[in-house]
Amino acid sequence: MDIFTTMQDERGRLSQSEIRIADIVLNDFEFAVNASIIELAGKADVSPPTVTRFCRRLGCESFSDFKVQLARTAYVGMRYLKPEPKSIAPADVAQDIITKAQNALFLLHRGLDVVAIEAAANRIAGAEMIYAFGSGGNSSMIASEMQNRLFRLGLRITSSSDHSMQLMMAAAAKPTDLLIGSSFSGRNTELVRAFTLAREAKVPTIALTQSGSPVADVADVTVPIDLPEGDNIYRPTSTRIAYLAVLDILASLVAYRLRPQATATLRRIKQQLVTHRDGDDRQLLGD
Amino acid sequence: MDIFTTMQDERGRLSQSEIRIADIVLNDFEFAVNASIIELAGKADVSPPTVTRFCRRLGCESFSDFKVQLARTAYVGMRYLKPEPKSIAPADVAQDIITKAQNALFLLHRGLDVVAIEAAANRIAGAEMIYAFGSGGNSSMIASEMQNRLFRLGLRITSSSDHSMQLMMAAAAKPTDLLIGSSFSGRNTELVRAFTLAREAKVPTIALTQSGSPVADVADVTVPIDLPEGDNIYRPTSTRIAYLAVLDILASLVAYRLRPQATATLRRIKQQLVTHRDGDDRQLLGD
DNA sequence: AACGTATCAAGAAAATAATTTGCAGGAATC
DNA sequence: GATTCCTGCAAATTATTTTCTTGATACGTT
């Protein structure tokens, strides 16, 4: 997979000297990507050959191969080590947020459960009617975004962020329908209740949430989204980007499954919008 | 900045041989990051010293420095060359979408207008009341997301995706208030109308949109978001992720400006949610 | 318990490979 | 025709890897 994961996974099988090397790489990645084998060996108090052996053990061809791997992944992969932007100057804040977002995507990709995603896409594509649930600002955005993405594919879908409505909808749904719920924390008790209700009525359910959480436990299919949430209360949000990406993946897979129908519906909607605007065909679907 | 931009910018000042090297790097990045200087020189039909000189001209210390730079940026920076996923297998679609999203963030960062962002943040922080506008699914999501982010900081804000409401709100707004509008295409005529109305009433306006577009033209401050939109109608959405990132940046900057007030409000909201849930303090703000 | 053997880690030195520098010939430009 | 810049060759330098050896540890045998 990627070199950082490998380093962590293999840590137990490394020797003392190799652990020292690994620690230096992990702690001072900037140094590591720029250093020569001699410099790195010097800093770790080992000989250059030991560094070469270390790289080999991690599955790299050579030391320079190792450095390339390092540079590739670490650019997006290791920034969560720095919890705060360097300063609150706009450029630094921007860099921090963008890097964290890229990082969230990186981690999402690393932990993605493709089997679950595919199962979810299949169910979505086959549902007669879809109910998308989510509350609390972040997840409600995901729910309405779900609707925004799926109705364009010709699917019947509604969304709600209202707990009472969710319960009523869950009670009204049929076994040929589908409930999709999103919860960042996985601890949305009302959503758990709605899912439980659905389960009793044999209505299939899909959860986008943390694995192992109460919401995940009651869903038929869970698409797990597990990311370490930064603790800066001002920016609780790179997780959202990961959720949106999952949504995109689901919507794309569903679209590929329904291609002919979806294309036709999209074209109609697009036509509608284009004639309503100033006729530039290159504009986005739905702004 | 980054090595690819530099290569494109410097292209005119490069010699024949150097252009050959640049083309090989650009076209076969995978080869380039793994090749030794001799292999790369061989493929470009030049001598190794020429490659070294090429790297120096691009501002790198050495050939290996060049490779590291290459590996760093190219991982996220150059994937839009491949317009389609390798297959419609879930893993490939996922990889495609995630890479494109990372790429959108990369391009956003590269083209970010920090001055405009800062100006926008200042105005937001100083506004008595904020109206966030956007329509059409994507931008309406941004507008309500704007509300979701900013009310937590103790700001007075409402959002609307309804054109008629937008016009009425624009007419009702005061010069101490603020209008924020989002338009992916920049061609939302109704938003232009609302902005024009606001301008006449001396209500300040901020636009999140394509630079040079009609919406950008009528706003006091434009935060330009210019990304090449992929033409696959099934995935019109990596742009959205860029918009959300800009929103995050704005919200963070505003938060830093209002820190004491914002912290208190957030704590209150969090308290509310936590006591309402099962008491795990580590959960997200608002799910 | 003592000894021997096997296994592994790790450094020194040598060998190899890669990269850079200095220099000179040649092409292009003014 | 002179100057400048490009380019490759060969040499020098530097970096990396291989080989060989030593030392340590674990395990089995006597």
pLDDT in tens, A244-286: 999 999 998 998 888 766 566 656 665 555 555 444 434 445 6
The per-residue pLDDT for range A128-138, each reduced to its tens digit, is 999 999 998 88
Residues with CB under 7 A from strand C: A 15-18, 45-50, 64; B 36-38, 48-49, 51-52, 55, 61-64
Which residue's CA lies closest to nucleotide C10 at its C1' atom?
Answer: A50
How many angstroms is C1' of C23 away from CA of B10?
27
pLDDT of the residue at B155: 93
Judging contacts by C-beta atoms under 8 Å, the chain B residues touching residue A105 are 98, 101-102, 105
How many angstroms is C1' of C9 away from CA of A49?
11
Average pLDDT over residues B232-256: 81
pLDDT of the residue at B286: 64
- B265 falls in which pLDDT band (50, 70, 90)? low
- B130 falls in which pLDDT band (50, 70, 90)? very high
Question: Which of A162-171, B69-78, B108-117 is the least confident region?
Answer: B69-78
How many angstroms is C1' of D11 away from CA of A116?
61
By C-alpha distance, the chain A residue nearest B85 is A252
Judging contacts by C-beta atoms under 8 Å, the chain B residues touching residue A145 are 141
% of chain B with per-residue pLDDT over 70? 82
pLDDT of the residue at B83: 56
Average pLDDT over residues B178-186: 93
Contact state of B112 with A97 under an 8 Å Cβ cutoff: no
The 3-state DSSP class for residue B65 equals helix
Judging contacts by C-beta atoms under 8 Å, the chain A residues touching residue B117 are 90, 94
Contact state of B245 with A183 under an 8 Å Cβ cutoff: no
The 3-state DSSP class for residue B21 equals helix
By C-alpha distance, the chain B residue nearest A282 is B185
Q: Which nucleotides of D are covered by protein (CB under 7 A)?
A: 5-10, 14-19
Residue B280, pLDDT > 50, answer no
B47 touches chain A (CB under 8 A): no
> Closest Cα partner for A216 from A184, A261, A170?
A184
Using CB atoms, pick whichever of A135, A234, A241 lies closest to residue B241.
A241
How many angstroms is C1' of D20 away from CA of A15?
21
- B132 falls in which pLDDT band (50, 70, 90)? very high
Residue B272, pLDDT > 70, answer no
Using CB atoms, pick whichever of A71, A90, A270 lies closest to residue B117.
A90
For residues A269 and A271, give the distance between their C-alpha atoms in angstroms, rounded to a whole number.
5
> Closest Cα partner for B142 from B235, B259, B53, B241?
B241
Q: For the CA atoms of B21, B25, B26, B30, what is the dihedral angle to 10 degrees?
A: 160
How many angstroms is C1' of D29 away from CA of A13?
29
Using CB atoms, pick whichever of B114, B148, B282 lies closest to residue A94.
B114
Chain B (188-227) residues lying within 8 Å, Cβ to Cβ, of chain A? 188-189
Q: Between A and B, how many CB-CB pairs are < 8 A?
A: 231
Q: For residue A148, how many other CB atoms are within 10 A of its CB?
A: 22
pLDDT of the residue at B285: 53
By C-alpha distance, the chain A residue nearest B259 is A234
Q: What domains lie within chain A, and their CATH numbers? A: 3-77 (1.10.10.10), 111-273 (3.40.50.10490)
Residue B131, pLDDT > 80, answer yes
pLDDT of the residue at B229: 57
Residue B282, pLDDT > 50, answer no
Q: Is the CB of B44 under 7 A from strand D?
A: no
Chain A (108-167) residues lying within 8 Å, Cβ to Cβ, of chain B? 108-109, 112, 114, 117-118, 121, 134-139, 141, 144-145, 148-149
For residues A173 and A200, give the distance between their C-alpha atoms in angstroms, rounded to a whole number.
11
Judging contacts by C-beta atoms under 8 Å, the chain B residues touching residue A238 are 248
- B233 falls in which pLDDT band (50, 70, 90)? very low
Residue B59 DSSP one-character state? T
Average pLDDT over residues B100-104: 83
One digit per residue, the tens of pLDDT, for chain A of length 287 reads 678 778 878 888 888 888 888 888 888 888 888 888 998 888 888 988 999 999 888 888 889 889 988 888 766 555 544 556 667 889 888 888 888 888 888 888 888 999 999 999 999 999 999 999 999 888 999 999 999 889 988 899 999 999 999 999 999 999 999 999 999 888 898 999 999 999 999 999 999 999 999 999 999 999 999 886 554 444 556 788 899 999 999 998 998 888 766 566 656 665 555 555 444 434 445 67
Contact state of A249 with B93 under an 8 Å Cβ cutoff: yes
Using CB atoms, pick whichever of A102, A145, A285 lies closest to residue B105.
A102
Residue B76, pLDDT > 80, answer no
pLDDT of the residue at A282: 41
For residues A5 and A215, give the distance between their C-alpha atoms in angstroms, rounded to a whole number.
28
Question: Which of A140-154, B77-91, B205-219 is the least confident region?
Answer: B77-91
> Closest Cα partner for A112 from B243, B81, B96, B82?
B96
Amino acid at A197: L
pLDDT of the residue at B204: 96
